[in-house]
Every structure is written in structure tokens, then in C-alpha cells.
Amino acid sequence: MIRTLRGALRMMRPGNMVMAVGGVTVGWYLSGHGSHGELFFRVACAAASLAYGNVINDLHDYRADCISHPQRPLVRGDISPRQGRFLAFLLGIYALGTAATISFGLFVATVVPLVLLTLYTLWAKATLLWGNILVSLLISYTLFYGSFGGQIEQVILPALLAGAANLIRELLKDFADEAGDRAVGVYTSALLSQDQRARLMRRLFWSTAVLFGIPLFILPAPLIYAVAVILGVFPLHYLWYYAFQRHEYAVAARWVKLLLVAGLSAFLLDLLYRVTI
């Protein structure tokens, strides 16, 4: 029983759930929501929705994971496919049921990621770039989900940056999974040549660096944001690219996850500074 519960927890990817919670929270505060009462329910819905996506992804990727990720709970036998399907059902029902108790609008806003996550698993993941783009849009969507009912325009740039950073991370994860994808005949970004990878990631490196610099010119008092970007964001941005050039794709993906956290934190710190002066 304990082994099954641990397997279920690992399938849900707590680390990724925290990222979803962070995105919703950042979107909530940047959009000017005053009350905190609804925030807990929104982050719960977002976390459950992302966990649903992670579980159905593992169920679908079982054959490839036997090669690329033999440590995953489904491959190890910690949890059965039937238990995994039931877990996915519970997570989806929880997300929809919780959203429905708040408002019809939030219910609809919760249906969207559940549908897109299912579409990603069943179709988009086995395509060149489209799956990566779809997941990145879903990461951006967490900020809009948090801002629903508030000043949505305030989260456009942070959402764009979050999506760009996560696109890099998704590509790096694909590169790390090349052996498994080849073995099961799935055509993803992992099958790009080394030259194609180098060109694509170089363009993403420079375009994302430019995106992180744009707020310096449009925020009303960007001092705190500038300090956070110089001391945290840009060093992490360099570290993932350095690891990529050494073909350390899993390491580079972890640096990008920290980059995403640092980038969103920079916006929150800037907001905190502006409301306290």
C-alpha cells in the first residue's frame, strides 16, 4: 500500500505541481487580486490538472520509459496501469469539481488545460515541436489562470517569458529521451540532428535573453527587477546553455527550471518593491 501511494505521488510529479502553483500565484498577485480566499482553490485546481497530465503521460509513454526512464513508478511496478488510470480520473474530477464550486467561468478555464493535456499526450507529443509548444503554452496559461477576473494584461509579458523558458526545457527533455523515442519509433524533437539542435537552441538562447531584458524598459521602477535579472536570471540562462553545449541535456533542463523560478520571482520582487514604496 505504501509503495503504491509513493508511486502515485511520483507519477503526479510534485516538483512540476509546485511550478503550476507558482505560476497561478504569480498571475494572481500581478493581476491585482486583493482577496486571498479564492487563491487556494485555484492553485489546487491547477496542481490537480497538471498532475492529471503527468499521470496520463506516464501511462501513454510506458514503452519508451522502459528505456529512457526505468526508474519511473509505472515501469518499476510501484503502481499498476489500472491504478494509474483511476488516479488520473480522480485528479480530473477533483480539478473540475473544485472549479465548479467557485464559478462557471473558472470551470471552463479548468476544462481548457485538461483537454489540451489529453491532446498533448495522445497526439502532439509524438510530433516535431508542436508538443513542446503546446506544453509551453500551458505553462503560460497558469499565469492567465491565476489572473482570471483581474488585470490580465499585467501577466502577458511574464507569461510569454515563462512559456519561452519552458519551451527550452521541453526541448532539452526530448533530447535527453532520444534513445527511448527512437526505440518506439516516435518522431519528436529528440530526432533533430546535432546541427539542427545547435541552431534552434542558439536562437532560443538569444531571443529569451532579449525577452528578459524588455521589462527593464517598460516597468515603472525596474531597479529590483534589474538586480534579480543580473544576479539570478542571466547566470542561470548562461548555465543551461553551457550544459547544452556539453550535451548534458538533463542537467541543462534542471538549470532551466531554476531559470523559470528566478524569472517569475523577479516580477514578484519588483511588484513587492513597488507596493511598499
Instruction: Give the chain's residues under pLDDT 70.
Output: 34-35, 180-187, 277
Hey, what amino acid is at 117?
L
Which cell numbers in the block locate residue 83? 491504478
Which of 102, 141, 253, 125 has its CA nearest to residue 187? 125
Is the model's pTM score more than 0.85? yes
Torsion sign, CA atoms 52, 39, 149, 21? negative
Digit-coded pLDDT (tens) for 123-170: 887 777 888 999 999 999 999 999 998 899 999 999 999 999 999 999
Number of domains in the chain: 1
Helix count (H) and strand count (E) of the chain? Answer: 15, 0
Hey, what amino acid is at 193?
S
Q: Residue for cell digits 514604496? A: 277
Q: What is the pLDDT of residue 277?
A: 64
CATH of the domain at 241: 1.10.600
Q: How many CA atoms lie within 13 A of 84 on its CB side?
A: 23
Range of the domain at 207: 2-276
Beta carbons of 181 and 192 less than 8 angstroms apart: no
Q: What is the pLDDT of residue 48?
A: 96
